[in-house]
Chain A
């Protein structure tokens, strides 16, 4: 019986189809361990070899990697949630209720998305703290620190645009308050310092652009939906790519 499966496995591995997909054997030899890393597009984020010191859990606490994992998890659960959600002020709240009470595993999907988002924010902060405490922003990694700060801002913006979507009281008032802050921006906000001197009105300032109107309403919901599901994730992906690329180029910080 064991022989049968062994033969079957060997047969499959020998086929042209298998060989066209996997260009390496099982990674239990040095050659294959190297090959698996640079012939697999998903794994080639990693270098073939890493310094032993970079692997210590109590040095990195896996924080950056877990943040990235949360991003992937949120992308996947977010895509699933999109199947049942319409960004319409009349139906959005009902859609969330359907997810919670009617759909199979709808509540689990929504909970995963919400708690995953909270976890991502927290992990980003912890990751930044770790990077600061280990001095990993120092030359030659200054630029990657900047990219990291921008990713932190993007994470917070994603959270902010995200919790408008259920169209509950928190959504409405948090965005009312948030957009009121935008209105108070110096120069570009209607009620901010020098705003009126710059010719800002209720219907042409930064808040108006953000909300797509003078009140938090249908156009705001659509705007935030597009930003949350398309605009900001694309931007975040771009910055993540740069972030990882710089880690590969500048090397992993750590004691020699």
Chain B
């Protein structure tokens, strides 16, 4: 009698259902993850971070010991240093100021860059390329971003290495102590060039407006007609926002080239602002 009782540790209950469970040796309680792709943060990630921090600290301390932070003469409001250069990360902006009026180069364009960056995830509907360096599936996105980035870095390089006294263009082999004469040709407006071709003043104004508006209209239309797939993927609202920002970004180098090649100061003169 006593032996039988010993065997019945768990008396079977007819009201319950039973399943077969196995205990196995393993490193984590995670299930439904085959094969295991995760590792413990300690030590795998924590030590990578530690090494990165140590290496960057070494580089930074070495740099700080080797090279002193810049300090110029004490501020004096009646003499402006020549040339006056901002730290390198703002020189792209300072370079823009040569080609555009301050309200545009200093306020509107940086504002548009920030707004454009914020809009990026909402206008890029392409689901491909998450979590990998993928060029083939996102050619337009990568090209556009890289173009903007390259523009920004080129302006910085120009500002840092190629601008000298009076913010004139100096090659590295030029004498940087010598003032360059101001350019022989003065900058003139686009509408003045048109009037010199025989247009009336009002006519020149109309053509100037038409050129700027036409740039955007043609730019918006070309992909709409020739890249229907691009338009369809984005939809009406996204397409217009994307193309507007794209054309404004492209407009920056266009205006810079017009300034350099044709000495055009303003493309469009309105009573309120000039572009």
Binding site for B on A (CB under 8 A): 27, 30, 33-34, 36-37, 43, 46-53, 55, 57, 59, 62, 65-66, 69-70, 73, 89, 93, 96-97, 100, 107-108, 110-116, 118-119, 121-122, 128-129, 132-139, 141-142, 145-146, 149, 152-153, 156, 159-160, 163, 166-174, 177-178, 180-186, 189, 191-194, 215-216, 253-256
Contact = CB atoms under 8 A, between A and B. Distances in A.
A167 B114 contact: no
Given A49-B40, A52-B37, 15 more contacts: A43-B46, A51-B39, A62-B52, A66-B56, A93-B74, A111-B64, A111-B65, A142-B122, A149-B114, A168-B74, A174-B90, A181-B105, A182-B106, A184-B103, A185-B107
B75 interface: yes
Contacts of B134: 134-135
A180 B38 CA distance: 53
B150 to A, nearest CB: 11
A51 B73 contact: no
Interface string B78-106: 00110011111110001001000111011
Given A53-B37, A184-B106, A138 B130 contact: yes
A149 B119 CA distance: 10
A43 B41 CA distance: 10
Interface residues of B, number: 76
A50 B77 contact: no
Given A48-B40, A135-B132, A118 B52 contact: no
B37 to A, nearest CB: 5
Interface of B: 27-28, 30, 37-46, 48-49, 52-53, 56-57, 60-61, 63-65, 67-77, 80-81, 84-90, 94, 97, 101-103, 105-108, 114, 117-118, 120-122, 124, 126-134, 138, 141-142, 145, 149, 272-273
B90 A160 contact: yes
Given A69-B53, A169-B73, A47 B107 contact: no
Contact of A116 (B60, B81, B105, B107): B60
A172 B273 CA distance: 28
Nearest to B93: A181
Contacts of A216: 77
Contacts of B70: 114, 170
Given A149-B118, A173-B80, A215-B77, A50 B132 contact: no
Query: For chain A, what secondary structure do more than half of its interface residues adopt (helix, strand, loop), or is it mixed?
Result: helix
Nearest to B36: A52
B98 to A, nearest CB: 12
* Closest 4 pairs (CB-CB, A-B): A181-B106, A114-B69, A111-B64, A142-B121
B61 to A, nearest CB: 7
Contacts of A174: 84, 86-87, 90
B60 A112 contact: yes
Contact of B120 (A43, A57, A145, A215): A145
A41 B212 CA distance: 57
B130 A55 contact: no
A46 B74 CA distance: 46
A141 B127 CA distance: 12
Contacts, number: 232
Given A65-B49, A115-B60, A153 B114 contact: yes
Q: Indicate the member of A34, A65, A133, A145 with the most B CB atoms within 10 Å.
A: A133
A72 to B, nearest CB: 9
Contacts of B141: 132
A120 to B, nearest CB: 10
Contact of A27 (B37, B42, B61, B73): B42
A169 B81 contact: yes
Nearest to B63: A115
B109 to A, nearest CB: 10
B117 A134 contact: no
Nearest to B66: A111
B187 to A, nearest CB: 19
Contacts of B121: 137-139, 141-142, 145-146
A5 B16 CA distance: 56
Contact of B273 (A34, A93, A193, A215): A193
A33 B89 CA distance: 42
B238 to A, nearest CB: 13
Contacts of B57: 73
A220 to B, nearest CB: 11
Which of B30, B61, B69 has its CB near the most chain A CB atoms (within 10 A)? B69
B145 to A, nearest CB: 5
20 contacts: A55-B48, A111-B64, A111-B67, A118-B89, A121-B89, A132-B120, A134-B133, A135-B134, A135-B138, A137-B124, A142-B121, A146-B118, A159-B89, A160-B90, A166-B71, A178-B106, A181-B97, A184-B101, A184-B103, A254-B131
A132 B103 contact: no
Nearest to A217: B77
